[in-house]
Amino acid sequence: MTFLNVDVAAGVATVVIDRPPANAVNPELIDEFLTVLPGLARDPAVRCLVLTGVGRFFIAGADIAVMRDLSLDNHVRMRRWIEVQRLLELAPKPVVAAINGHALGGGAELSLACDLRIAAASAGFGFPEMQLGLFPGAGGSQRLPRLLGLHKAKLLMIEGRRLTAVEALELGLLDEVVPDEDFPAVVAERARDLAAKPTATIGLLKTSMLAGAPLDIEGAMAVEWEAVQQVIASDDAAEGLQSFLDKRKPTFQGR
């Protein structure tokens, strides 16, 4: 059974998660993501990647019917969700989490690995794992403190409180909240704008920042210099500089 519907148009690949009733994560959905995402990340025709869901949910988190098997083997299988997030985080192009509905647990974790998080006003956001005697153990307990700071992230996970989209925006968990009726159009506009940017440069920026983050400043600057050398050799850098001199809008090719 296919749970992901992929559409590629005008440089934007939209991946729609469709696993009724709540787009919950199970091993089969993880397998499908791990099959689909690498090809989209490599495809030069894809300049921006958008993830969204069907119905009232973006991703409701892990499938509880699967998670109730508390064996280590089962949780090792489910923990491959971190591989999906890492593919998005390292994708050499911008990645948008278009949060159409509730993003809870594993869904919220997935969104943290994306470059831009846009939510419909009716969406909910949160890490309710503590209510099940668990904690966000597929990246959430590590990415969330890096985004919010240790104390705020810790409290949010301990309380397990579900936030409205506006509350999540105010905390810095989301980048934008739009009315439900405007959501598809706004997502499409943001994706088109990102696809028109020098996406190869965006990819190098992402990887150099991630690689440099755990290093001291000297090591991080060395990582940055490696990326700079690749950027200045790119067609997009040449186009961007020449278009400025020509006083025209640049046409980037993503290479």
Q: Which amino acid is at 160?
A: G
DSSP 8-state secondary structure symbol assigned to residue 162: E
Using H for helix, E for strand and C for coil, what is the string for 105-147? Answer: CHHHHHHHCCCEEEEECCCEEECHHHHHCCCCCCCHHHHHHHH
Closest CA to 81 of 125, 112, 49: 112
Angle at 116 between CA 169 and CA 229, to 5 degrees: 140
Structure tokens at 179: 């009315």
Distance (Å, whole) CA 189 – CA 195: 10
DSSP 8-state secondary structure symbol assigned to residue 64: H
110 with 97: CB under 8 angstroms?
A: yes
What residues does 120 pair with on adjacent strands? 178
Backbone angles phi, psi at 143, to 5 degrees: -75, -35
Identify whether 129 is a catalytic site residue.
yes
Identify whether 181 is a catalytic site residue.
no
Catalytic residue among 32, 83, 109, 239: 109
Angle at 165 between CA 159 and CA 166, to 5 degrees: 100
Catalytic residue among 129, 167, 181, 226: 129
Residues annotated as catalytic are: 109, 129
